[in-house]
Structure 1
Amino acid sequence: MPQISIVVPVFNEQDNVASLIQETVAALRGVVPFEIVYVDDHSRDNTLATLRGLKAQVPELRVLHHASQSGQSTAIRTGVKAARGEWIATLDGDGQNDPADIPKLIAERAKGGREVKMIAGWRVHRQDTGSKRWASKWANAIRVRMLHDDTPDTGCGIKLFERAAFLDLPYFDHMHRYLPALMQRAGWKTVSVPVNHRARTAGVSKYNNFNRALVGIRDLRGVAWLITRSKRTAVEEV
């Protein structure tokens, strides 16, 4: 059984899947028992066909397919629900996250206590356009001010978290952008770790700053409301 499951949501990433899978295998074979769970969010290119072909070459690879396009948060949750590992590492399917950072996150988890349920990547040297970096800077500042989640970069796709803790979180579309705040709301601790970030070499981004901002404002209000309505208590069996 794998100790860790690598969950990768993809939509129209036919030119990135093979190289990212090869890098993931190179980073983890011999380090920890793992599986790679790709979730194809109803791609319209050859992503699914490419993944099917790679299954014969990579025994750790599993492929799930959405019958209709459902978004990144749903794809991540689909992969986590199907995963067999107790801990999940996520990667964006565009190749900008570096799988070689996963062992670093695993080592950070080993240093943390039992209350640490998430280690989040932090793109210190982000390789994106100036407009994306500017938008993320302001979005992160607003989010920290509203949610007080003490996380410098929630938009980084590479994260490590406990499967059971994730599945206990409230589910909604775009929830993947607020995972540290949601974990903290549940009573767990989160840690941010600097990771490598790379420029996209194939394919195109699936969103723009304006659309993300419109959705983000509504989601921020919703998550802030969830935090104010949370209630936790210790439980003992008698």
Structure 2
Amino acid sequence: MASITIVIPVYNEEAGIPAIVEAFGPYFKSTSLNAKVLFVNDGSTDQSLQEIEKVCLLNDHFEFISFEKNAGLSAAIKAGFDYSQSDWVGYIDADLQTDPMDFLSYEAFLGEFDLITGKRVNRKDSFVKNLSSSFANWFRDSLLHDHVSDSGCPLKIIRKDLAVSLPFFKGMHRFIPALVLMQGGKLKELPVSHFPRVTGKSKFHLWNRLLSPFLDTLAVRWMMKRKIDYKIRSTNSLTHPN
């Protein structure tokens, strides 16, 4: 049976940890994969780590790693990918604005695609957040041509070996589809449900939703243009790259 680790970055989400456990109960019962959740505590200053430790002590489906200090969402995702011991890795936000049950619709495509990512339908965010996200997606696709309408959707499944090979940098979580394509992978975008935030506070605002993604998009475009690509026609060497 193929295995998957769902990575959940956590930063000051103490009130939402019990809800995460409850939301994943039906998923664990329904999935065709050998599934676990890996919490990545990103230097929380509230009681998030203590709540996570309680969950992991009582439920074998949950594990955790904890940073010494806050390192950011992209670092938490990378650490989760690096520490996962599974064929596939998934990603979902701790705020549960997306539903882990939507991962089930991804499973039929795992043999054909390297990344399955969500497109949030009827988003329950503020007007400003939706507007800035729409502009960022349009700008990103105009330059990177990944043809994904919701690159930042926090509901993804990716092949583990491909996930750890991606170039990581602050803000890279917005560009996973483009980076997968740059590595020669295939992706599929599927509609997923979206809900209002119930606990915690958003870690993003207009400034870091527009300026940082703008600069990062230019950086990713530069990487795509400068990517080294070659194909071996023939060789008598017995040495193969790892």
Name the TM tier (shorter chain): over 0.9
- Distance in 2 of aligned mates of 1:233 and 1:118: 23
Secondary structure of 1:6's match?
strand
SS at match of 1:156: coil
Cα distance in 1 for residues equivalent to 2:30 and 2:156: 21
Q: Check the 8 A contact 1:73/1:174 in 2, yes or no.
A: yes
Amino acid at match of 1:169: L
User: Which residue matches 2:190?
Assistant: 193
Give the share of equivalent positions with the same residue, in percent.
Answer: 29
RMSD: 1.6
Write the deviation string for residues 175-206 of structure 1: whole angstroms up to 9, x where unpaired.
11100000101111111000011110111101
Deviation at 1:2, TM superposition (A): 6.8
Deviation at 1:37, TM superposition (A): 0.3
Helix, strand or coil at the partner of 1:16: helix
Residue 207 of structure 1 aligns with an amino acid whose one-letter code is F
The match for 1:164 is: 161
Structure 1: runs of 5 or more not aligned: none
Aligned equivalents of 2:231, 2:29: Cα separation in 1: 39
Q: Following superposition of structure 1 onto structure 2, how do residues 27-42 of structure 1 map, counting pairs within 5 Å?
A: 27-29=27-29, 31=31, 32-42=33-43
Deviations 1:131-157 (CA, angstroms, capped at 9, x unpaired): 111111111111110110100001110
CA contact (8 A) 2:97 2:195 kept: yes
Q: Is the 8 A contact 2:133 2:209 kept in 1?
A: no
CA separation in 1, counterparts of 2:79 and 2:139?
Answer: 29
What is the aligned partner in structure 2 of residue 83 from structure 1?
A: 84
**What is the TM-score when the length of structure 2 is the normalising length?**
0.92
2:3 is the counterpart of 1:3: yes
Q: What amino acid sits opposite 2:79 in the alignment?
A: T
- What is the deviation of 1:103? 1.1
Q: Give the structure with higher Rg (CA).
A: 2
Aligned to 2:219: 222
Per the alignment, residue 231 of structure 1 pairs with 228
Where do 5+ consecutive residues of structure 2 fail to align?
237-242
Give aligned pairs, total.
Answer: 234
Q: CA deviation at 1:233?
A: 3.2
Matches within 5 A, 1:26-65: 26-29=26-29, 31=31, 32-65=33-66
